[in-house]
Amino acid sequence: MSGRINRVGEQFGRLTVKRFIGTNKHWHGIWECECVCGNITNVHYSNLYSGITKSCGCLKRESTIKRNTKHGLSGGEKNATRLYRIWLHMRGRCLSIKNLDYKHYGARGISICKEWNDYKSFYDWSMESGYQENLTIERINNDGNYEPSNCRWATRKEQARNTRMTIYVEYEGETKTLWEWAEVLKINYQTLKMRLHRGWTTEEAFTTPLRNRRKQYVKRISNG
């Protein structure tokens, strides 16, 4: 890219330039851009600079929706609300094969219910379900779809616990995630995970006292 101005990081409408791709037969520079909805698209710089291309195509689709649903809840193109951006990202990772996260969602068969194709419906459900600015949307069943019966608003900590890698453990007739048991038992999560990985029974992992390594080290030193 010798002699070419580095455009990485520049923003044009909804697009942020990520990297230089190359040139076409007319030597026009082509740049890979990431849209605010999460999609990746390649654009001629002249189209970015002139304003011909402002998004991956989602802007045009939304304009069509807005003509039919003038709810005014999105905040507009330049002041999109956080909830509206969440809706855009949700649609991108489920519906666009160009989205970086598509392989974890749409490619796995995860879809969005027809009701939520309308942002107004998604907005109404969110408000009724306790949406707050510090919460993220979570699918209760990670193999299920985005739909009212399978979604809720959760903190990032709560969402981190509800992944395909979440470990559920039954102990004394009660089932909790390993994260929850760690908090209840006041034992480090990684310690419990390591014990179970090494083949300890649940009883052993949950009831064996933690060793004070510092005291043991001092004791070994004092004993010569």
The tens digit of pLDDT for each residue in 141-154 reads 888 999 999 999 98
30-to-11, 42, 51 alpha-carbon distances in Å? 15, 6, 15
Mean pLDDT over 184-211 rounds to 86
Asked if residue 79 has pLDDT above 70, the reply is no
CB-based burial of residue 16 (10 Å sphere; 0-12 exposed, 13-18 middle, 19+ buried)? Answer: middle
CB 206 within 8 A of CB 172: no
**Which helix (H) or strand (E) element contains residue 53?**
none
pLDDT band at 17 (very low <50, low <70, confident <90, very high): very high
Q: Tell me how many degrees the CA angle 160-85-163 measures, rounded to the nearest 5.
A: 15
Percent of the chain with pLDDT over 90: 25
Chain mean pLDDT for the chain:
81
Residue 213 — pLDDT band, cuts 50, 70, 90? very low
- Number of neighbouring beta carbons within 10 Å of residue 66: 15
Task: Measure the CA–CA gap between 18 and 168, rounded to whole angstroms.
Answer: 39
User: pLDDT at position 217, please?
Assistant: 41
Q: CA-to-CA distance for 190 and 141, rounded, in angstroms?
A: 24
User: What does the alpha-carbon distance between residue 45 and residue 28 come to, in Å, rounded to a whole number?
Assistant: 7
The angle that helices 119-128 and 82-95 make with each other, rounded to 10 degrees, is 120
What whole-number distance in Å separates Cα of residue 199 and Cα of residue 183?
21
State yes or no: pLDDT of 66 exceeds 90.
Answer: no
Q: In the chain, what percentage of residues exceed pLDDT 70? A: 81
> Residues 185, 187, 189, 194: is their CA dihedral positive or negative?
negative
Reported as type and span, the H/E element at residue 16 is: strand 15-23
